[in-house]
Amino acid sequence: MAQSMSGPTAMVDDLEDDVAEPGRLISSRWRPRSLRTTPSKEDRGLLGHPRGLPWMLNVEMWERFSYYGMRAILLYFITDTVAGGGLGLSENSGQVVLALYGTAVYLLAIPGGIFADRVIGPWLSTLYGGIVIMAGHICLSIPVAATSWLGIVLVAVGTGFIKPNLSTIVGGLYDDDDIRRDAGFQLFYMSINVGAFASPLLTGWLREHYGYHAGFSSAAVGMAFALAAFVYGRHKLSAFAFTVPNPIRPEERRRLLLGSLGVLVAIGVVVAVLQVLTGNLVTTVATAGLLIPVGAAVAYFVVMFRSPKVTARERTHLRAYIPLWVGAVLFFMITEQAAGKMATFAESNTDLRLPFFGWSTTAEAYQSVNPAVIVLLAPLVGMLFTRRAGRFPTTIMKFVIAVLIVGLSALMLGYGFQIWPGGQDLSPWWFLALVYVIQTVAELFLTPVGLATTTTLAPKSFASQAMGLWWLSVAAGQGVAGFIIAQTEHLSDSTYYYVLGAATLLMALVLFTVAPWTQRQMADVEVAAQD
């Protein structure tokens, strides 16, 4: 791993002109003088993959360890009493905050990607995002309310910069014709789930024995490991990581600055107007959390449909994408409550005693079920889809199945809240675990398919923006959840999930009804993919 490569590396300073236009290499002290500039096939390290991949796997594992560890205890911290070490918000308000936090993470991925593409490149964007995240975790580890809220904001901002750019760096390790790319991203996906599996177990144990701030401290340590791997491993990367692919021209800077300020002012105006209309801060921020991602998504669709760069055939594909996108919004509306209402069920409605040797688990441990099941089932589901390529289930039917399954899981949660309301009436330990398993199966039918479909149906001129549109479905789903939670404070959790489950099943029926039309709109794409 450590030896130098005479062929695959060269002095970047002597080869800057060889980098494909319109990109330009960043001029930063963080940029190594020696980077790979030769074809990726000549770069072979661990398991035959590029030498930079193991370092990026380390970064992603520890960054996800940090993120999911913090998220696992965040709701409990926000809703615990001040005397118990928390922030003292109500359970309903805490769930709204969690939903808005998730919305912010995915919304901020859009400016994070734009900033990398136009200003400083993916590597520096990831570095700065990681530093901001670690600062956020450090703030959360300080037992002061003001620093805790600041920490939550910093983690959301930093994650927005890392999320779109670290995967871009991994993709840049491989040339377009490098057959190792898919296997590399499979390893990358596994590193995500390793970190996501381990962190709730650790932070839950730390919270139980040493308090919330010890758990947040472990997240800061995890992020420090990620940054160390990221900085050390930069010498193994290709020049792509340090290249600004579409550098902003001098005449564009003023327009970009004014546009950014305009967006911030518009958001501020929306929040101010909503506050005047509602008179309630929780309702205001929840409504803004719904309107902003939905409005951004609508704007994306309008721009793409009206653009002269989009062909008639591509507009047909966009029309097919609309029902899929709406289905994804409802899907994420339910599944992204893993750290919200489902965490509440784990803490207040579940018997945490296990029937093994007198053992007990923590409420946070349930959030490790999803990544564990993904690691176990993802290869099997992938084999199923490969073997049945060109047959049932088609892309649209995979969405139908996913939305149907997640709707049924919502009804299960409604039933769970109804018959096990807490106190002396606690659900058995396996019930919530089963719900997580069912939702994970649905996720394997929708999430990888959704990512692939987005790239396939996207107009060529809007390839990157279309991926932002997909992330907006996650943001919008959590925005919808936060808005509904804020509006249904006086309804029971069972009613909440029964209504959401019924609405989601109705959407599954709609998707099934329009499936033939959707399939016709994208038939040429699926045929090409099969060929």
Distances (CA, A) of 105 to 71, 310, 412, 473: 12, 29, 28, 12
The percentage of residues in the chain with a pLDDT greater than 70, rounded to a whole number, is: 92
Only one residue has tokens 């992020």, namely 223
Q: How far apart are CA 246 and CA 184, in angstroms?
A: 25
- Which of the listed residues 247, 274, 295 is the one where a domain comes to its end? 247
Helix residue spans in 388-492 (DSSP H): 395-419, 429-457, 463-487
pLDDT of 14 reads 37
Answer with the residue of higher pLDDT: 456 or 488: 488
Quote the pLDDT of residue 166: 87
- Buried b / exposed e across 205-239, counting CB within 10 Å, b at 16+? bbbeeebbbbbbbbbbbbbbbbbebbeebbbbbbb
User: What is the pLDDT at residue 217?
Assistant: 95
| Tokens encoding 277 | 């209309």
Lowest mean pLDDT among 34-38, 51-55, 405-409: 34-38
Question: DSSP secondary structure string, 385-399?
Answer: HHHTTTSSS-HHHHH
Give me the phi and psi of 469, to 5 degrees please.
-65, -40
Where are the strands (E) in 272-395, listed by range? none
| pLDDT > 90 in the chain, percent | 52
Same domain? 226 vs 357: no
312 and 388 co-located in one domain: yes
Confidence of residue 15 (pLDDT cuts 50, 70, 90): very low
- Distance between CA atoms of 454 and 317, rounded to whole angstroms? 10
The first and second tokens of residue 371, run together, are 């990544």
Tell me what the mean pLDDT of segment 496-519 comes to: 93
Q: Mean per-residue pLDDT for 254-264?
A: 85
| 284 domain residue, yes or no | no
Whether residue 322 sits in one domain with residue 230: no
Give the DSSP per-residue string, 483-504: HHHHHTTTS-HHHHHHHHHHHH
Exposure string of 62-97, with b = 16+ CB inside 10 Å and e = fewer, is bbbbbbbbbbbbbbbbbbbeeeeebbebebbbbbbb
Query: pLDDT band at residue 23, thresholds of 50, 70 and 90?
Result: low
CATH number for the domain harbouring residue 67: 1.20.1250.20
- In this model, does residue 476 exceed pLDDT 60? yes
**Domain match, 225 and 315 both:** no
Residue 198 is inside which H or E element, if any? helix 181-210
> Cα(113)–Cα(101) distance, rounded to whole angstroms?
19
pLDDT band at 20 (very low <50, low <70, confident <90, very high): very low
pLDDT score for 390: 67
Question: Poorest-confidence range of 11-15, 286-290, 384-388, 404-408?
Answer: 11-15
Question: Which tens digit of pLDDT belongs to each residue from 95-105?
Answer: 999 999 999 99
pLDDT tier for residue 161 given thresholds of 50, 70 and 90: confident
pLDDT tens by residue, 79-95:
999 888 899 999 999 99
Do residue 326 and residue 427 come from a single domain? yes
Q: Given 209, 224, 247, which residue is the final one in a domain?
A: 247
Instruction: Indicate the range of 107-116, 181-190, 309-318, 369-378 predicted with least confidence.
Output: 181-190
CA distances from 242 to 32, 124, 284 (A): 9, 8, 41
Burial (CB count within 10 angstroms: exposed 0-12, middle 13-18, buried 19+), residue 359: exposed
One domain for residues 313 and 239:
no
Ranges 148-152, 212-216, 279-283: which has the least confidence: 279-283
Q: Which two tokens stand for residue 455?
A: 């790239």
Please give the average per-residue pLDDT across 463-483, as a whole number: 87
Residue 220 pLDDT > 90: yes
Which tokens is 431 given?
């019930």
Residues 465-471 have a mean pLDDT of 80
Is the pLDDT at 500 greater than 60? The verdict is yes
Query: Given this model, what pLDDT does residue 526 score?
Result: 58
Radius of gyration of the chain (CA): 23
pLDDT of residue 18: 36
What pLDDT shows up at residue 254? 85
Instruction: Give pLDDT, residue 300.
Output: 86
What is the mean pLDDT of the segment spanning 380-395? 78
Residue 495: pLDDT over 70: yes
Q: What are phi and psi for residue 80, nearest 5 degrees?
A: -70, 160
Parent domain of 171: 42-247
Q: Which of 167, 172, 314 is nearest to 237 (CA)?
A: 172
Which H or E element spans position 244?
strand 243-244
Q: Which class for 503: exposed (0-12), middle (13-18), buried (19 or more C-beta within 10 A)?
A: middle
Average the pLDDT over 451-460 and give the result: 80
Smallest Cα–Cα separation from 436: which of 368, 351, 355? 368
Does 270 reside within a domain? no
Q: Report yes or no on whether pTM surpasses 0.75.
A: yes
* Helix, strand, coil percentages in the chain from 3-state DSSP, rounded to 5: 80, 5, 20
Mean pLDDT across the chain: 86
56, 171: one domain: yes
Give pLDDT tens digits for 267-297.
899 889 989 988 888 899 999 999 999 999 9
**Residue 273: inside a domain, yes or no?**
no
Q: How many domains does the chain have?
A: 2
pLDDT of residue 6: 35
**Backbone CA torsion sign across 76, 81, 83, 87:** positive
For 105, other C-beta atoms within 10 Å of its C-beta total: 24
Q: What is the mean pLDDT of residues 404-432?
A: 96
Of the CA atoms within 13 Å of residue 525, those in its CB half-sphere come to 24
Q: How confident is the model at residue 22 (pLDDT cuts 50, 70, 90)?
A: low
Residues 16 and 451: their CA atoms lie apart, in Å, by 33
Residue 286 maps to a domain: no
Same domain? 335 vs 186: no
User: Residue 400 above 60 pLDDT?
Assistant: yes
Look at residue 285 and tell me if it is in a domain: no
pLDDT value for 336: 92
* Tokens at 57, concatenated: 């796997």
Residue 17 has pLDDT above 50, yes or no: no
Mean pLDDT score, 292-315 = 90
pLDDT for 16 equals 35
* Domain end marker among 194, 229, 247: 247
